[in-house]
Structure formats: C-alpha cells, structure tokens
C-alpha cells in the first residue's frame, strides 16, 4: 500500500526522497511526509494530500541534510489527516519512523504504553510501534537496533519500517515482513524504497530484503541481520529496467501510456517463449515440473482483483485445452478457509506486484500442504516470485497507473502459453490446433495495435455516455470474465456503479435494471456463443436498453441490434479476450477524463495491496 523512500549518503536527501515519493505516489496518496537528519536534530514535514501539497508545505523552510526518510500514505488506521501522516515522532522526540503495513495487535500494545504514561498524537498503529520500540530501548538500556529486534518479535502483522535516531546521524535502520523493501547500492550512498523506481537514475545494483530481515544502512555500509541477530550476506542483483519505463513519455496519463504499450508488452511476453520455427513453447518453469503437472489432479488459481479475472479466463482455457479440473479462488477468501489441499495439487498464484498480501499468505498455506506453486507475476524478485517453486514473469514493465491494464493482458498471454505448454505435455491437444493457436498468439500484438489506432472512436462513444449513472457489462464463456473486468475498470476510474454478469444469467435478475437510460455493454465477439448473445442483445433492445457491443470484424448481425459498436480483429475464441478487453479499458479511461477525474490515482485505491 504505502510508499516508502529513504536515502543515506552525501547528497541532499530531501531532493532525492521527494522525487522518490512522486514516483511511489501510486502506492498511496492520502498524505505524504519526510524526515531529515539535520545537524544532530530530526526535522519532520508532513501534510494531508498529495506529494505536491507536501512540497508546497516545505517551500521556504530548511530542507538540508544528507539522510532522510519519506512516506506516501494509504490510510488503514486513522483517517487521512496531518496528524496521521508519516513520519511519526516518538514521545522523546529522538526517534522517527515511517511504516507500510498493519500492526494487528497495536491496541493491546497501546493500552500497555498508556498505562506507562505515553500519550499519542495520532490514530495510527505506526505511532504505537515507534513508541513501543523507544520504550524497549529505554527500559533495556539497549541499542536501537536491538530494541527494534525485540519489538518486531512481539508485534503481529505486516510491516516495512525505516527508523532514524537523533543520536545516530549517519544511519537508517530498516526491517520488513510481508511488505516489499529494496535497497539500492551506490558509491558512498544507499537508497531504500518500496520498489526500485525511486533509485533507477542513481544505481542499477539492488538488494531485495526478505521477511524477518533487519538492515543497518550507512553511506558506506549495508549490514543485514535476521531477528536472531545473525549476519546475512546481501545478495546483490542488477536491475533490468530503464528510467523511461516509469515516465509518461509524452502521454497525458500513465494509464493511457500503459494501454498503448500493450502491443510491445505482449510482444515482450511472447519473446523467447513462442517458437514458431520449431512449433513449440519454451517455459522453463513448466518444463521443470512437467512430470508433476501432467498428473496433477487439479489446478487452483489464486488471485485478487483484476488478476482474479485473468484467472477466470485461464480456467476456461486450461480446462478446454488440458482437460484438467480448474478452480479459481479469491485469495482473500481462500486464506481464511480450511481448504482441501492435497500433495500434487497445483496452485497458480497471479499478482502484478508479486506482493499481494492475501495471495502470498494463501500460497504459503497451500505450499505447507504439499502443493506445487507456480507464480505469474510482473515484478522481478517479488515475494510471490520467491515463494513459488516455479512460474513465469509477465515482462509487462512497471505499471504506474493504479488500475491495471497492460499487466492484465500480459497475464492472459502468459496463462495462455502455460495452458498450451501443459496441453502439449499431456497430449490433450492436436498438433494442428496447437500450431494454429501459436500463430494466433503471434498475431496478437499487431491486432492490439490495430484496435488502438481506432481509439478516437471510443473517445467519441464516451462523450455520448457521460450522463449515464450506471452500466451493465455482459459476456458469455471466455468473455464473461472480460465483462467483469470491464465493469471493474469503470468502477475504479469513473466511480460509477457497474455490474459484470454472465449474459445467460441476465434474465435471472439484472434485466430488471434495464431502461432507456442504462448502457449495456456486450462483449459479443464471434465464438460458439454468438447466436445466444445476440438473442440477449435483442432482449435488451426490446426493453429500450442502450446496447453497446464489442464485436468481431465481419459480424453483420450484432450491429443491427446495437446502438454503438466497436470492432476488433478476428481471432480464435480462446485468444479473443486479450483483444476484447482493450476497448473496455479505453472506455473507462475516456469517461474518467471527461469527468475530470485522476485516472492514474483513483480515490481510495492503491496499486499494491500489501495489507488486508
């Protein structure tokens, strides 16, 4: 959720941290703050609102210092306000902390501290944690590092923390459990952040911190320890990421940029895997576990949000091609059930960030019961990637817009290739069908480009729908999850109510919503269900509903029952979801722009959901 940045070195910390906060604002934008070590004193600036509001607050004030920590907040405990903003300062004023995560047993600890005379100036669990650390330090007369270690063994929940000590002007102490932390290594300086984007222009060498690790970070020193005070050798990795990937590149918004990047990101996803010359798919993770996957009794897909919709599409494709039973579960529900997991079951965990807390806990539960874990994630080195036995990166590149677009189509592409590879291994697909689908996948990037060339048609359609108060999205078969995804995008970006439904279920309730004011968006591409969905369109039209259809090129029937259409290129029905979602992404974007909303940072949402 929240974004965290830290710097220790010989440069101006404020300028580095504030720039990093701007890059992490997609992770939280209820408030922002920064703490600077200035001549043996700690100076804190924080403000409700966005990073720009914080910058305005600091204008004309002392922003000197070469050590600093910063935070962009997505509120969990306590409403967005100046007092609940981070960094928090301890009772003595000698420590300051930024925190990403939730301390679940904070109320008990807070009650204990109040009995000792502590007063609290915010509603946050983070201030409780900071004062708990200070109380341990005082009562045990121990170094701050040891106090943090003791405190973290007591607390329950998820966290990344960065702590500054007034008495130690060259050190940041950091620790993590369940939330991401990356440390960038420079010459005489170190950078800390929730992801690598704030440090890209300074270094390409990073260390991904693991759960239950504590880092003591100084300009010329990085010490890693576990909570048992044992030293750990940092594993330095090279970033394969360019600065241009996290900048707008001439687009008005990251969301639009990322929608238009999809031809390239899908191509990147296919590169090195799709082998038309030899008629094969190369996926190391699948090949390593081929023997187990072929005999797996079932596959369970775990995901949240948009990734869950990708899982639903994969369910249709895997069952069709591999003849294996597939179940798709919300990770947030799965983790709290007592699920029946047997050795040999396969879990596919889908997450853009690779840090989704619910999904991470769910796969840990399944892994303990003997399941094989395959991760489908975008972020290299993320927690889910490391917790999985194998899997595949989507190679979509950084996705800054909070509402997922290019990550979704990359997930669909990877999942389709996984299904094809498994089907070939199992012998459940003919060579002819296999080669046909390889060629269909190869053609997807160009077809997406063709769709995007007609984006102004979607903008014109959005202008006709500005008075709508709600939308209904309908699809059948493999396009039903695309209807769900279209509705979710509209909710996220425009704050309008939108419902996604199987078209066949329309008569079992949702048809009561239909009148002349309700736009009903059909994902009506040519497939085995086409005649049925045209009948559903006619039923809506008969009740004066506004029928808007995403249709396949050459379809002459759907336009006769549609008020508006958007045409996509012809594709195999198992491949078409990658194409049919593009117009729905654009529709949400343009409606959001018309309504003058912040499409990159919708209210109440954060990009990476690392807390419950």
Q: Which residues are the active-site residues?
A: 2, 607
Q: Give the containing element (helix H, strand E) for 130.
A: helix 125-140
- Read off the tokens for 111: 């009650």
Spatial separation of the C-alpha atoms in residues 321 and 310, rounded to whole Å:
16
Cα–Cα dist 260/415, whole Å: 21
Directed axis angle between helix 576-594 and helix 406-426, to 10°? 170
Nearest CA among 63, 61, 60, 62 for reference residue 18: 63
By DSSP bridging, strand 564-568 and strand 236-238 are unpaired
How remote is the C-alpha of 327 from its chain's centroid?
A: 22
Residues whose CB falls within 8 Å of the CB of residue 111, separated by 6 or more in sequence, listed in order? none
Question: What is the C-alpha to C-alpha distance for residues 305 and 485, in angstroms, rounded to an integer?
Answer: 9
Comparing C-alpha atoms, which of 184, 178, 233 is closest to residue 206? 184
Q: How far is CA 47 from the centre of its chain?
A: 25
Give the per-residue SS3 of 291-336.
Answer: HHHHHCCEEEEEECHHHHHHHHHHHHHHHHHHCCEEEEEEHHHHCC
Q: Provide the token pair at 353.
A: 């960030």
CB 374 within 8 A of CB 366: no
Query: What is Dmax (Cα atoms) for the chain?
Result: 80
Name residue 215's beta-bridge partners.
Answer: 174, 224
Residue whose token pair is 């330095």: 236
Residue 366 burial (10 A CB sphere; 0-12, 13-18, 19+): buried
Is the link from the previous residue into 264 a cis peptide, with omega within 30 of 0?
no
| Contact in structure between 388 and 402 (CB atoms under 8 Å) | no
Compute the residue count for the chain: 612
Rounded distance between C-alpha atoms, residue 266 and residue 394, angstroms? 9
Query: What is 515-553 written as a DSSP string?
Result: STT-EEEEEE-SSTTHHHHHHHHHHHHHTT-EEEEEEET
Residue 48, classed as helix, strand or coil, is strand
């Amino acid at each position: 959720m929240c974004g965290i940045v830290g710097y220790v070195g010989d440069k101006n910390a404020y300028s580095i941290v504030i720039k990093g906060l701007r890059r992490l604002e997609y992770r939280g934008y209820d408030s922002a703050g920064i703490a600077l070590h200035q001549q043996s004193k700690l100076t804190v600036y924080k403000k409700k609102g966005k990073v720009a509001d914080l910058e305005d607050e600091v204008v004309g004030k002392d922003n000197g210092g070469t050590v600093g920590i910063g935070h962009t907040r997505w509120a969990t405990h306590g409403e967005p306000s100046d007092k609940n903003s981070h960094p928090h300062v301890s009772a003595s004023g000698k420590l300051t902390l930024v925190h990403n995560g939730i301390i679940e047993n904070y109320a008990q600890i807070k009650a204990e501290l109040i009995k000792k005379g502590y007063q609290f100036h915010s509603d946050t669990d983070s201030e409780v944690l900071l004062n708990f650390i200070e109380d341990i330090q005082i009562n045990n007369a121990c170094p701050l590092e040891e106090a943090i270690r003791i405190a973290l063994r007591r607390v329950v929940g998820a966290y990344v923390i960065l702590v500054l000590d007034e008495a130690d002007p060259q050190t940041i102490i950091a620790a993590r459990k369940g939330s991401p932390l990356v440390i960038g290594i420079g010459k005489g300086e170190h950078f800390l952040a929730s992801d690598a984007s704030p440090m890209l222009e300074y270094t390409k060498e990073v260390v991904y911190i693991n759960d239950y690790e504590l880092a003591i970070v100084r300009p010329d020193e990085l010490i890693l320890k576990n909570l048992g005070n044992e030293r750990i050798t940092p594993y330095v990795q090279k970033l394969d990421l360019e600065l241009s990937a996290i900048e707008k590149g001439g687009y008005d918004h990251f969301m639009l940029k990322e929608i238009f990047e999809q031809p390239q990101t899908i191509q990147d996803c296919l590169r090195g895997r799709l082998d038309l010359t030899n008629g094969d798919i190369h996926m190391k993770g699948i090949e390593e576990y081929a023997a187990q996957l072929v005999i797996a009794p079932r596959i369970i897909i775990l995901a949240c949000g948009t990734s869950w919709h990708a899982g639903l599409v994969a369910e249709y494709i895997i069952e069709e091609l591999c003849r294996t039973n597939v179940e798709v579960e919300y990770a947030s529900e799965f983790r709290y059930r007592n699920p029946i997991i047997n050795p040999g079951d396969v879990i596919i965990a889908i997450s853009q960030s690779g840090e989704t807390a619910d999904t991470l806990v769910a796969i840990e539960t399944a892994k303990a019961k003997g399941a094989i874990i395959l991760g489908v994630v975008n972020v290299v080195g993320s927690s889910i990637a490391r917790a999985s036995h194998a899997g595949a990166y989507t190679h979509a590149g950084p996705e800054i817009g909070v509402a997922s677009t290019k990550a979704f189509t990359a997930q669909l592409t990877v999942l389709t290739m996984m299904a094809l590879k498994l089907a070939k291994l199992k012998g459940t697909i003919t060579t002819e069908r296999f080669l046909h689908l390889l060629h269909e996948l190869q053609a997807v990037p160009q077809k997406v480009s063709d769709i995007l060339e007609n984006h102004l048609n979607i903008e014109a359609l959005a202008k006709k729908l500005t008075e709508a108060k709600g939308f209904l999205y309908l699809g059948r078969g493999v396009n039903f999850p695309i209807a769900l995804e279209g509705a979710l995008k509209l909710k996220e970006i425009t704050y309008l109510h939108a419902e996604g439904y199987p078209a066949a279920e329309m008569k079992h309730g949702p048809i009561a919503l239909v009148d002349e004011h309700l736009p009903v968006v059909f994902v009506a591409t040519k497939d085995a269900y086409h005649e049925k969905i045209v009948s559903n369109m006619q039923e809506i039209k008969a009740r004066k509903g506004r029928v808007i259809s995403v249709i396949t090129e050459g379809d002459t029937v759907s336009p006769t029952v549609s008020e508006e259409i958007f045409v996509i290129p012809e594709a195999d029905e198992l491949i078409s979801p990658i194409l049919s979602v593009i117009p729905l992404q654009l529709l949400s974007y343009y409606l959001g722009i018309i309504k003058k909303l912040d499409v990159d940072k919708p209210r109440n949402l954060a990009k990476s959901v690392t807390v419950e």
